[in-house]
Structure 1
Amino acid sequence: MKVILKISFVFSLLLVSLKATGFPENYYKLPLSEKKKYFFEYFVGQIELENRKILKEREFIKSLMGKKDLSEDSFEYKKLQELQIKYKVLEIYDYTEFLRRIDIVPPSLALAQAATESGWGTSRFFKKANNIFGHWTYNPKIGMVPLRRQTGKKHFIRVFPTLHDSIAAYMKNLNRTGAYYEFRAKRRAMRLKKEFIDGMKLAKTMTKYSGIGHDYVKILQSIIRKNNLAHYDKEFFIMIRNERMLNLH
C-alpha cells in the first residue's frame, strides 16, 4: 500500500505541470501529512528556481560595482536599466540599493506565506487563477472578480499563467515595495554578517502583508516552527555557498 501511495504521489507531482491552474485533483484527496509533503516538495523547487534567477541578477550588479560611466549603448547599461525599472531603484548607479533589493526570499518564509495565503492550495484564487499569495490588480484583463467584493470596489484577483509566475510576482513585490523596507533592511544586515537568510526572523517584518498585522506574523512563525521549515533556508545557503567555492577552483 505504501508503495502505491508513493507512486501516486510522484505521478501527481508530474501532473501539476499539465493542468492549467492549481494542483491536480489527486492532491485534494491526500491525507493531511501527504498533502503537506506534496505542497512543500513542489514549492521548494519552484522557490529555488526563482531565487537562483534573482542571484544571477545580483551577481550581475556585483560585477558592475564601481562602474559609473557605462556607455548607454552597452549591454551592461541596458541590462542595468531593466533592473532599475523592475526593482524601482531611483538612481541607476546606486549599486548599494540594487543589492538591498535584489536578493532571495528565504524558502521557509515563502513556503509559510504560500500555505497561509492559499489555504494549503485550497483557495479559489489558487485553483482558478494560479494566485498563491493573494495578489490584487485593477486590470480586468488579467484579473477575476472576488466573490465577496464590496459594492463600489474595483479590485480584481490577479490571474497568473502559471504557479511559478505567482511566485516571481511575490518575490518582486517583497523586493521593491515600500511596505517591505524593513524586510530588505534586515535581510541586508544578515548578508553583511555572512549569515544565512533566516525566514523565521524575517517573518517579523510581514506585519503589513495582512490586515491582521502581528497575528499574521504569529501564524507564519507557527507554520515555520511546526513544519521545521528553517532547514530549507540553511540547506539553500550551504548549497549556494558550496557551488561558489567550487567555481573558484
Structure 2
Amino acid sequence: MMVLAGLTACGETPPTTPTTASEPLHAVYATKPDFSAITDVKQRKSTFFDYLRPAVVFENQRIEGERQFLLDIQQQMDAGQQLGSDVMAQVNDLSLAYMVTLNSDAVTQPWLDSMLKRVDVLPESLVLSQAANESGWGRSRFAVEGNNYFGQWCYREGCGLVPSGRTEGASHEVAVFASPHLSVKAYFMNVNRNPAYAELREIRALQRQAGQRVEGQRLAEGLHRYSERGHAYVDEIQSMIKHNNQYWRQG
C-alpha cells in the first residue's frame, strides 16, 4: 500500500461521489467477484482485469471527449475566432476540474498548453497494473470494504477506513468509494492533475509530440512519487505491465 498514495500527495480529497443510481456503470459494478476465492492465478488475473476494465475504458472515453473539446478550441484560436458563451462555460468547468487557473476569464495559449498536458488518456496496462498492485488483486481490505483499488487517502475524520498500521499521530484514512468506477475516476483525476505526477504528464506530452502511442511502460517512469519505495515501485509496475502483456487490449 502506497504512502504518497494517489490523492494524498498534495492533500487532495476524492472527488464528490454521486449516488450509485446515477453512475453510468452502476449495473456493471452491482456485484463484486470474490477474488480471494479464485485460486487459479490466471483466472484471478483475467477476472480482475475484466472487472475493472469497463471503468478504465469509460474514463478514457470521457477524457478523449474533453481533450477533443480543447483541440477544437485550439483550432478556433488559430483561426482567430471568438469563443461562444457556451464554450466558455465548459472551459470554466474544465479549468476547475483540472486545477488550471483561467486568468482574466480568457483562454490563453499557456492555459491551453497546460490543459492539454493534463487532459489526456492513461493506458489500461498502467491503470490495471497499479490497481492490481495496490489492492492485492482486489483482495485487500480497502478494495473489499471501500472499493479503493489504488490506495487513495483522505484527511477528514470519518472519510474512510483507518489503516491498522497507521503511525501514531497520523490523521489520514483510506478513502471509501461508492463503487469501483469512482475509485478509477479518482485515480485518473489524481494522476492527471496532482503536481506529484507532473513528470508522467511530461513524458506523455513528449510521446504525443513525437507521434508515438501513449504507452504504459514509459509513463510508469513518472510514478516514483506514488510510493515511498520510489524507483523500486516503478520497476515493479513496469515488470507487471510486461509480465501481463497478454491481458492488455491497449497500451
By the TM > 0.5 criterion, same fold?
Answer: yes
Alignment match, 1:87: 98
**Cα distance change, pair 225–154 in 1 and its aligned pair in 2 (3 A):** same
* C-alpha RMSD of the superposition: 2.0
Of residues 159, 166, 170 in structure 2, which corresponds to 1:142? 159
Alignment match, 2:41: 32
**Cα distance change, pair 153–68 in 1 and its aligned pair in 2 (3 A):** farther
Distance in 2, Cα, partners of 1:99 & 1:229: 31
Distance in 2, Cα, partners of 1:174 & 1:68: 32
**Cα distance change, pair 156–163 in 1 and its aligned pair in 2 (3 A):** same
**Cα distance change, pair 15–102 in 1 and its aligned pair in 2 (3 A):** closer
Alignment match, 2:211: 194
Of residues 30, 37, 41 in structure 2, which corresponds to 1:18? 30
Q: How does 1:14-163 map to 2 (within 5 A)?
A: 17-19=29-31, 23-25=32-34, 27-30=35-38, 31-65=40-74, 66=77, 70=83, 74-91=85-102, 93=107, 94-163=111-180
Distance in 1, Cα, partners of 2:29 & 2:53: 15
- Give the secondary structure class of the aligned counterpart of 2:249: helix
Question: How does the TM-score come out when normalised to structure 2?
Answer: 0.80
Deviations 1:111-156 (A, max 9, x none): 1100110011011110010001000001234312111222211111
Unmatched runs of 5 consecutive residues or more in structure 2: 1-25
Deviations 1:78-121 (A, max 9, x none): 11111111111123521111111100011111011001100110
Unmatched runs of 5 consecutive residues or more in structure 1: 1-13, 235-249
- Give the secondary structure class of the aligned counterpart of 1:233: coil
Q: For structure 1, which segment, 115-124 or 90-99, has the greater mean C-alpha deviation from structure 2 after superposition?
A: 90-99
Question: How does the TM-score come out when normalised to structure 1?
Answer: 0.80
Which structure is higher in helix share?
1
**Cα distance change, pair 16–77 in 1 and its aligned pair in 2 (3 A):** closer
Q: How does 1:172-187 map to 2 (within 5 A)?
A: 172-187=189-204
- Give the secondary structure class of the aligned counterpart of 1:157: strand
Residue 17 of structure 1 deviates from its aligned partner by 2.2
Of residues 219, 232, 236 in structure 1, which corresponds to 2:236? 219
> How many positions carry a matched residue from both structures?
215
Q: Which has the larger radius of gyration?
A: 1
CA contact (8 A) 2:29 2:180 kept: no
